[in-house]
Every structure is written in C-alpha cells, then in structure tokens.
C-alpha cells in the first residue's frame, strides 16, 4: 500500500465504522474475559506488519516509528470485545504460521517483497470477507484500520506525514494546491 492509498483508506476509515467503536460510544465494560496476549514478540510483529502497510518514505516516517504495536495493544485490550480479540490474536498467529510454512522463518525476518506478498493475500481475503456481508470482521481489516488510525494520530504521523498546524491562523478558503503536498491536520 502506498501513501496515497493509505490516505484514501484514512478517509474511508473516518467515514465508516471502526472495529471496537462501541467501546468508545458506551465506555469500556470491564469484561473479565478479555485476552491480554501482547508479548514483546507480538509487539515487534505488529510493528513490522504496520511498517509493511505504511512504509517509511523519503518524506515521512513509517508506521514502526509511531510504535504502532503499542497503539494496537491499547485499542485491542481496552476497546475490543472478547470475540474481536480472539479474531485479532488468531490472525496474528495465522501470519506467523503462514510465514513459517511458506518461507521457513518468522514474518519479521522475511524480505520486504515476501511481507508485501503475504499481506496482499490477506488484504484480498479481507475484501472478499467484508463484501460478503459477514458479521465477523476479518483480522486484516482490524490491523489495517488500527495501522492507519494509529499512525496518522501519532506525533510522527501528524507532524511529519501530514502538514500539522498547532495553532491555525486565519481562515483562507482558497489555497492553491501544489502537487505532492500532504494533507492538513489541526
């Protein structure tokens, strides 16, 4: 996924439902059945997956810079229900198993091309799953949403990938756009 696709995904994300959004609307329920399986190994894996989705470019950092794994840990642990958490952790486990079966190594040790290949397969699966009207959200949809949301709401994402203005000035309704400029965030 390139930066332009990521920005499009952000726009789509903000216009659609976010997995776990019920917790934001109604408050966390404090269920005792919540899973907390975020080892250091899983956080590193999530950083690598995030970096594959939103890689660093010459003009902006990648998702790993924003410590996307830590962001996912907070949202999945605090906002996802038990079924969503199970889907999430089953998906993480599936990525590792697939990497071991196909390449005989862990996902974090794959080449960029191999990582992209694996995630493209998951992306296609998630699109088929989500278009079928299935109530169960695909794991990769969760990861994609969390990566885009976490990166663009992080300090590196907001200040280096977007044009951040901490104190906006006067309103200018017509500002010329220059090819290649990032979006504004206030």
pLDDT digits 0-9 by tens, 162-180 = 877 777 677 777 777 788 7
Q: Does 49 or 130 have the greater pLDDT score?
A: 49
Highest mean pLDDT: which range of 4-18, 28-42, 48-62, 161-175: 48-62
**pTM as predicted:** 0.72
What's residue 36's pLDDT? 54
Q: Is residue 12 in some structural domain?
A: no
Q: Is residue 84 in some structural domain?
A: yes
Distance CA 43, CA 177 (A): 38
Q: With cut-offs at 50, 70 and 90, classify the pLDDT of residue 160.
A: confident
Q: Is residue 17 in some structural domain?
A: no
| 27 has a pLDDT exceeding 90 | no
Quote the domain boundaries for residue 96. Answer: 3-7+31-185
Burial of 185 (0-12, 13-18, 19+ CB in 10 A): middle
Please give the tally of structural domains in the chain: 1
Distance CA 126, CA 146 (A): 14
What does the longest C-alpha to C-alpha distance in the chain come to? 57
Q: Is residue 174 in some structural domain?
A: yes
What's residue 4's pLDDT? 52
Q: Is residue 143 in some structural domain?
A: yes
Q: Is residue 151 in some structural domain?
A: yes
| 31 has a pLDDT exceeding 50 | no
Q: Does 121 or 129 have the greater pLDDT score?
A: 121
CB 143 within 8 A of CB 125: no
What's residue 24's pLDDT? 45
Q: Please report, to the nearest 10 degrees, the dihedral formed by the alpha carbons of residues 149, 150, 156, 159 taken in order.
A: 30
Residue-wise pLDDT tens digits, 53-82: 999 998 889 999 999 999 999 999 999 999
| 105 has a pLDDT exceeding 90 | yes
Distance CA 111, CA 113 (A): 5
What's residue 142's pLDDT? 93
Give 177's DSSP letter: -
What average pLDDT does this structure show over 20-47?
65
| 26 has a pLDDT exceeding 70 | no
Q: Is residue 163 in some structural domain?
A: yes
Q: Is residue 21 in some structural domain?
A: no
What's residue 163's pLDDT? 78
Q: Does 8 or 71 have the greater pLDDT score?
A: 71
């Amino acid at each position: 996924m390139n930066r332009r696709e990521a920005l499009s995904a952000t726009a789509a994300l903000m216009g659609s439902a976010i997995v776990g959004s019920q917790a934001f609307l109604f408050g966390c329920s404090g269920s005792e059945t919540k899973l907390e399986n975020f080892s250091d190994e899983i956080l590193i894996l999530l950083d690598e997956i995030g970096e594959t989705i939103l890689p660093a470019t010459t003009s902006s950092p990648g998702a790993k810079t924003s410590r996307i794994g830590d962001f996912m840990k907070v949202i999945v642990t605090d906002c996802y229900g038990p079924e969503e958490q199970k889907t999430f952790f089953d998906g993480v486990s599936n990525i590792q198993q697939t990497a071991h079966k196909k390449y005989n190594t862990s996902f974090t040790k794959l080449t960029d091309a191999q990582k992209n290949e694996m995630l493209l397969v998951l992306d296609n699966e998630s699109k088929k799953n989500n278009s079928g009207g299935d109530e169960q959200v695909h794991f990769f949809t969760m990861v994609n949403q969390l990566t885009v949301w976490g990166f663009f709401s992080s300090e590196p994402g907001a200040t280096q990938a977007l044009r951040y203005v901490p104190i906006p000035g006067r309103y200018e309704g017509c500002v010329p756009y220059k090819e290649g400029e990032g979006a504004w965030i206030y």
